[in-house]
Amino acid sequence: MKSSLFALCASCDRGFGATTSQRSEVSSLLTSLSELSPTANPSYGVDDNLPDAPLRGLWRLVYTSALDVLSLGASPISTVGAIYQDARELPTIMNVIDQQPRVQSLFPSNFPQTVLRSEVTTRASIRTDTRVGLEFKALGVAPVEVLGLDAKFVPPLKLNFPKLPDSFQEAGYFEILYLDEDLLVIEQGQGGSAAGVFAATRVDDIS
* Amino acid making up residue 125: S
CA dist 59 and 200 (Å) reads 5
pLDDT for 76-95, tens place per residue? 899 999 999 999 999 999 99
Higher-pLDDT residue of 133, 152: 133
pLDDT band at 167 (very low <50, low <70, confident <90, very high): very low
Q: Which fold has domain 2-203?
A: Lipocalin (2.40.128)
- Residue 37 has a pLDDT of 96
Distance, in Å, from the CA atom of 8 to the CA atom of 117, rounded to the nearest integer, reads 27
Q: Shortest CA distance to 200 belongs to which of 47, 33, 53, 50?
A: 33
- pLDDT over 90 (residue 145): no
Task: Tell me which of 82-86, 110-114, 192-196, 197-201 is least confident.
Answer: 192-196
119: three-class secondary structure by DSSP: strand
CA 7 to CA 22: how far, in whole Å?
11
Report d(CA 175, CA 158) in Å as an integer: 28
pLDDT at residue number 96? 97
Bigger pLDDT: 107 vs 184: 184
Nearest alpha carbon to residue 200 among 182, 187, 188: 182
- What is the pLDDT, as a whole number, of residue 193? 55
Residue 164's pLDDT band, with cuts at 50, 70 and 90, is low
